[in-house]
């Protein structure tokens, strides 16, 4: 099956700085890559996703880049705020038919933004 | 906007007991997924249903079973509970099998 690796496991930044989280995947058939933010006691919340026919996607302070050749994708958060502090998970999935739902998650990154 | 509803939020059971977890997907979502998340771990896929039929199966123990009902809600039944079953159980739903998954806030199961 798919293997997703995520780095770093912890990340501390000063408010206003940028944060970058990187993931790699093993299965070249994977074509859907969502990012989830999980706060304590809550479920993962989808913050952005990208499909393999796109190299970059932005949504305000959040951007995701995808390099299919190298099989890696990254989350970029600019102008970080204390409320961005949470665990972030990357995931990969093979789209099409009924198999999109099997998301393979990375191990997560604990992001702490200091005021 | 309506979200995925899971009940109960917390559940405490003893070893060898049974537990039933419920999931109510976002309205008009036809696909439901179950994930298990151990402490400090990433979510692990258990099973999914599309239009009330099992669509995919992951690392779900034989002691567990699940189904999706005609109103699209789903239940995860867990029998002969073991200490190692203690975890957060998340349900997620999507409108069709090729659209983003939205997760509920989970059921925290503690087996003593």
Q: Are B47 and B59 in contact (CB under 8 A)?
A: no
Take residue B51 and report the two structure tokens written for it.
């239009």
Nearest to A101 among B42, B56, B90 (CB): B56
What is the 8-class DSSP label of residue B25? P
B8 preceded by a cis bond (ω within 30 of 0): yes
Nearest to B105 among A43, A101, A108 (CB): A43
pLDDT digits (tens, 9 = 90+) for A71-109: 999 999 999 999 999 999 999 998 665 456 689 999 999
With 0-12 / 13-18 / 19 or more C-beta atoms within 10 angstroms meaning exposed / middle / buried, residue B2 is exposed
CB of A96 within 8 Å of a chain B CB? The answer is yes
Take residue B33 and report the two structure tokens written for it.
């997924």
pLDDT digits (tens, 9 = 90+) for A20-70: 999 999 999 899 999 999 999 899 999 999 988 889 999 999 999 999 999
Look at residue A50 in the predicted model and tell me its pLDDT: 93
Look at residue B2 in the predicted model and tell me its pLDDT: 81
* Calpha distance B50→B96 (Å, rounded): 8
Look at residue A105 in the predicted model and tell me its pLDDT: 95
Look at residue A101 in the predicted model and tell me its pLDDT: 62
* Calpha distance A92→A76 (Å, rounded): 17
A59: β partners? A62
């Amino acid at each position: 099956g798919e293997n997703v690796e995520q780095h770093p496991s912890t990340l501390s930044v000063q408010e206003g700085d940028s944060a970058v989280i990187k993931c790699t995947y093993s299965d070249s058939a994977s074509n859907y890559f969502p990012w989830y933010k999980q706060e304590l006691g809550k479920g993962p919340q989808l913050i952005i996703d990208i499909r393999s026919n796109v190299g970059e996607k932005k949504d305000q302070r959040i951007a995701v880049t995808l390099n299919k050749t190298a099989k890696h994708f990254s989350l970029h958060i600019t102008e970080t705020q204390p409320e961005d502090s949470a665990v972030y998970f990357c995931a990969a999935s093979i789209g099409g038919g009924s198999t999109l739902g099997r998301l393979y998650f990375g191990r997560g990154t604990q992001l702490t933004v200091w005021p | 906007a309506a979200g995925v509803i899971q009940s109960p939020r917390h559940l405490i059971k003893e070893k060898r007991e049974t537990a039933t977890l419920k999931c109510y997907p976002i309205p008009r979502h036809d696909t439901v997924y179950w994930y298990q998340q151990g402490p400090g771990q990433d979510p692990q896929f258990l099973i999914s249903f599309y239009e009330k039929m099992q669509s995919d199966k992951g690392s779900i123990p034989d002691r567990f079973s699940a189904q999706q009902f005609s109103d699209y809600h789903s239940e995860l039944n867990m029998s002969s509970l073991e200490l190692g079953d203690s975890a957060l159980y998340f349900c997620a739903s999507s409108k069709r099998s090729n659209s983003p998954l939205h997760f509920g806030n989970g059921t925290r199961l503690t087996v003593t």
